[in-house]
Amino acid sequence: MRRLLTSLVIAMTIAGSAPALAVQVVPPGNRHAEQPDIPGASVRRTKGTKTTFDLKYEKVYDLLSTDHELMGKIKKVSNAYGINPIHVIGAIVGEHTYNVDAYDRLQAYYVKAASYAGESFRFAYEGESVDDFVDRPQFAACNGKSDSYTLWTCREDVWESDFRGKTIGGKSFPNNRFSAVFFQPFYAGQTFGLGQVNPLTALMLSDLVSRVSGYPKLNEKNAGSVYKAIMDPDISLAFVAASIRRSIDDYREIAGVDISDNPGVTATLYNVGNSRKRAAALAAKNRSSGTTIWPEENYYGWLINDKLDELKGLF
């Protein structure tokens, strides 16, 4: 009951005066009988480190089952955001099975985070800082957005429509994601920390995390503070939970479906991102088909649902 009340308060804070929809609960389990294909990049990365997905899963499972301090933090942050801990566990397991290797203990994440302390870098592309970039006239419609989620989502939409893969004023922009072009100053595709949070995602969720967890709001002008947030396990767990909370609320408010009892779906959205757009696409499909089409899990979410009983045994 306490988690439900917390969830409702957070959802009301996010949704404001949005009209209520008739909500349908997504059935448990996987929609696919077999695991969808794993991307080649993940396969190559795992082979390159001379390991397997099974071994990586076992490693992160062992970390969670033996690190009682970490599990305590996961339960606490999940309660704060009104979600079941299995969603946070699913995100961490998925990331460390398919994207990175888990460290042996929580302290190793703190050490890794400390190694970036004091580093001087900024979010930019070919000498143009992202702060200057979003001052361009194409982003004018975003200026009235006060919440960090709607502000950065708007800016990401403008990037997709007006800049991605195009030449503007003699300057060519890559046919790549906004986050990959401007928010990864070390190398493309880089995410960090226990939850492998993307810097742009952290900026989007900054207001929600500040309201619920009390951490200072992030600013794109201070890239170091963004990386501290996503590297520090205590802070990054709040962003993991906030991301899942946001996905659940987006699907409820936009598509009229409740995904909170299907960790495979929330894990999938944690992996692929853009929950707002995906919820809108699902809503459009359901309207045009006249039937109920459920959100489907990808390879990452499929694993979480497949291992659900084992993962629930962690708490």
β-strand 24-25 against 257-258: which pairing, if any?
parallel
pLDDT digit string (tens) for the chain, length 315 residues = 444 444 444 554 444 444 445 899 999 999 999 999 999 988 988 888 888 999 999 999 999 999 999 999 999 999 999 999 999 999 999 999 998 777 766 667 666 666 665 556 789 999 999 999 999 999 999 998 989 999 999 999 999 999 999 999 999 999 999 998 998 755 444 556 788 888 999 999 999 999 999 999 999 998 888 888 888 888 999 999 999 999 999 999 999 999 999 999 999 999 999 999 999 999 999 999 989 999 999 999 999 999 999 999 998
Secondary structure of 209-246 as H, E, C letters:
HHHHHCCCCCCCCCHHHHHHHHHCHHHHHHHHHHHHHH
Q: Is 118 exposed, middle or buried (0-12, 13-18, 19+ CB in 10 A)?
A: exposed
Q: What is the pTM of this model?
A: 0.87
Q: What is the pLDDT of residue 16?
A: 45
User: Two tokens at 158?
Assistant: 């403008």
The C-alpha atoms of residue 14 and residue 96 are separated, in whole angstroms, by 30
Q: Is 124 helix (H, G, I), strand (E, B) or coil?
A: strand
The gap from C-alpha 226 to its chain's centroid, in whole angstroms, comes to: 15
The C-alpha atoms of residue 303 and residue 161 are separated, in whole angstroms, by 34
